[in-house]
Structure 1
Amino acid sequence: MTRCPVLRRWSCLFKGPLLVQRYLAGDPQESYELAQVAEFTQCYRQRLADLSWFMKCLNEPIARQANQEDGCTGHFWEARFKSQALRTEAALISCMAYVDLNPVRPGMAATPEASEHTSIRERTTPRFDLAQAVREQVQMEALLRFDRPVKPLLPFEGAFADREQPGIPFAFEDYLALVDYTGRAIDPKKKGAIAHTLPPILQRLGFTPDQWLNQSTRFEVLYRLQRRQSMV
């Protein structure tokens, strides 16, 4: 019997009440218990789609850990989060570059590929092995679980001409060059920037253009090949 995906997803974050635990375990329940589980499900569905609830769940453990380290109390973040719609390709690429340069601007990393927490680092030195996930027949639902440390990133369209779903509408080489150029701009309000003495990012990564094209497409080609073989 398939259990409710809303409850399974919620259980990745929280233990949940005993009624929900029993339901997910497949234990027999009375009609009034199932009615209560349905009410929990509706509540959890609304919370999982609520940005404010997501930010609450994200902020609380970070604040507790930071306060314990600093021996203080109170909010960790200075202001409430902002939700900004990205309605154009320019807005999308600007936001992506902003996030990838976040560790550089405060001086936490010299370059975006040197940081542990950027998409550029994951794309150039991937921790998620797509080929292994295919071999293990990992289902998409498992990839979307909150408790997975690393998830596959959406591909750049420019790198994959024959794709099954739309990706990011840029070539990855162009995006790398854009982030590298933007990161070298000096912002008087920020501590860090990519040093002008450093070579271009593809040189820092040790790739020629041809080598990079092969590197950036190899995982997708391998994924498609192995999936076809598994379907035979």
Structure 2
Amino acid sequence: MTLPRSSQISLDATPYYHCVSRCVRRAFLCGRDTESGKDYEHRREWIENRMLNLAEVFALDIAAYAVMSNHYHVVLYIDKKSADKWSLLEVIDRWQKLFKASNLAQRYLRGDTLDRCELKALEDVASIWRERLTDISWFMRCLNESIARQANAEDKCTGHFWEGRFKSQALLDERALAACMAYVDLNPIRANIAKTPENSDYTSIQRRIRVAISGEQPKSLLPLVGDERQNMPKGLPFQLEHYLELVDWSGRHLDPRKRGVIAENIPPILERLGISSEHWLYLNRNFESRFKGLVGSAEAVRSACNQLNKRWVHGINDCRRYLSATPC
């Protein structure tokens, strides 16, 4: 039975979520349709631009993404702390970038004086907008509806373009987060549409590599800030060079001619996370198919189940085997 989205997302459990949205039937988001011969490659830019622009409006940061031929992946970080600090003016300004603001909001923006009842009504509405701007479902809705309208207009057709619901996975700890990000970044490699991460167009890994050459990180993505420590800045708990090395190493082992060949020097991040190289390679091939909702160590999944009042979760045995510090 399909579970409501509210039962699958809990900020008490984790702020990180992996989302996947797929086209209905044989609809192509981008790339070349082998049957019709029509090239939809330009649609990759549509979704990448829309995704990155929405992240600037929502209190959501993008950790990883990959745009494929009939689906896309995105790993999101919910930044509720930042949203809680927004002023009333900032909430209204952000919301009206997506939807038409109410008359009260427009008057407030013009500098008109509102009486106490009007101001209270505006604050109540703005609290709903603030909540929606931290909501993954609203982010995906704004992203998918925009792309569907553009694609249907280009194809001169109507009807559903996306599947009814996007798929989401809660990434409960560093192991799940690192494995999922690498899985997402390596999608073009597995699909054999790119030979190297730096040549994987419309992916977060290509964007990170291009900027890393100059010793920087892309402003449009959640930065990698290193190991957990006191006064930890907002960002992913990995070092940039370790993560890039990890993705490159994992990608080389996805090559069918080299499958099963393990490099002698395992990337430092694997040793720190306590995942064996064999299990890491398995996750890079099967992350999406093996896990359905909550993803992390067995201990993290049990804790999240208690918070969400869930008695059982799909894939708990795989979490215990592949993502626990001492796999069985």
| Bin for the TM-score computed over the shorter chain | 0.5 to 0.7
Cα deviation for residue 152 of structure 1 reads 5.1
Aligned partner letter, 1:48: L
Supply the RMSD in Å over aligned alpha carbons.
3.6
The one of 147, 154, 168 aligned to 2:223 = 154
Q: Distance in 1 between matches of 2:155 and 2:246?
A: 37
| 2:14 alignment partner in structure 1 | none
Structure whose residues are more often helix by fraction = 1
8 Å Cα contact 2:222-2:236 kept in structure 1: no
| 2:296 alignment partner in structure 1 | none
The equivalences for 1:1-232 within 5 A come to: 3-78=88-163, 80-126=165-211, 151=220, 153-157=222-226, 165=233, 167-186=235-254
| 2:268 alignment partner in structure 1 | none
Alpha-carbon distance change, 69 to 110 in structure 1, aligned in 2, over 3 angstroms:
farther
Aligned partner letter, 1:33: E
1:80-138 deviation per Cα after TM superposition (whole angstroms, max 9, x unaligned): 222222122221111111221233344554332223432322222239x999xxxxxxx
8 Å Cα contact 2:188-2:200 kept in structure 1: yes
Q: Distance in 1 between matches of 2:125 and 2:198?
A: 43
Aligned partner letter, 2:223: L
Q: Matched residue of 2:238: which SS?
A: coil
Q: Distance in 1 between matches of 2:105 and 2:115?
A: 13
**Matched positions, count:** 170
8 Å Cα contact 1:112-1:121 kept in structure 2: yes
Structure whose residues are more often strand by fraction = 2
Aligned partner letter, 1:157: G
Structure 1 runs not aligned, ≥5 long: 132-148, 187-192, 197-232
TM-score (norm 2): 0.43
Alpha-carbon distance change, 74 to 102 in structure 1, aligned in 2, over 3 angstroms:
farther
8 Å Cα contact 2:194-2:200 kept in structure 1: yes
Structure 2 runs not aligned, ≥5 long: 1-86, 259-328
Q: Distance in 1 between matches of 2:243 and 2:256?
A: 16
TM-score (norm 1): 0.58
Q: Distance in 1 between matches of 2:153 and 2:140?
A: 20
The percent of aligned pairs where both chains have the same amino acid is 49
Q: Distance in 2 between matches of 1:61 and 1:194?
A: 38
Cα deviation for residue 55 of structure 1 reads 1.6
Q: Matched residue of 2:189: which SS?
A: coil
8 Å Cα contact 1:101-1:112 kept in structure 2: yes
8 Å Cα contact 2:224-2:239 kept in structure 1: no
Higher relative contact order, chain-length normalized (CA < 8 Å, sep 6+) = 2
Q: Matched residue of 1:84: which SS?
A: strand
Q: Distance in 1 between matches of 2:113 and 2:234?
A: 43
